[in-house]
Amino acid sequence: MKKYIYLSGLILSLYSCESTTYESLEEPTVIVEDVTYTANVKSIIDANCIACHAAESTLRPLETYDQVKDAVLNTDLLDRIQRQNGTPGQMPKAGRMPQDKINLILQWNTDGLLEN
Domain-located, residue 7? no
**Whole-number CA gyration radius for the chain:** 20
Does the pTM exceed 0.85?
A: no
Mean pLDDT, the chain, whole residue set:
86
Domain-located, residue 64? yes
Domain-located, residue 57? yes
Residue 106 reports pLDDT greater than 80: yes
How far apart CA 20 and CA 81 sit, in angstroms, is 22
Domain-located, residue 36? yes
pLDDT value at position 52?
Answer: 95
Domain-located, residue 60? yes
pLDDT value at position 99?
Answer: 97
Number of domains making up the chain = 1
If you average pLDDT over residues 21-39, what whole number do you get? 72
Range of the domain at 82: 26-110
Domain-located, residue 39? yes
Domain-located, residue 82? yes
Instruction: Check residues 17 and 104 and name the one with the higher pLDDT.
Output: 104
Q: How confident is the model at residue 15 (pLDDT cuts 50, 70, 90)?
A: low
Cα 12 to Cα 1, 6, 15, 18, 59, distances in angstroms: 17, 10, 5, 12, 50
Q: How confident is the model at residue 17 (pLDDT cuts 50, 70, 90)?
A: very low
Domain-located, residue 17? no
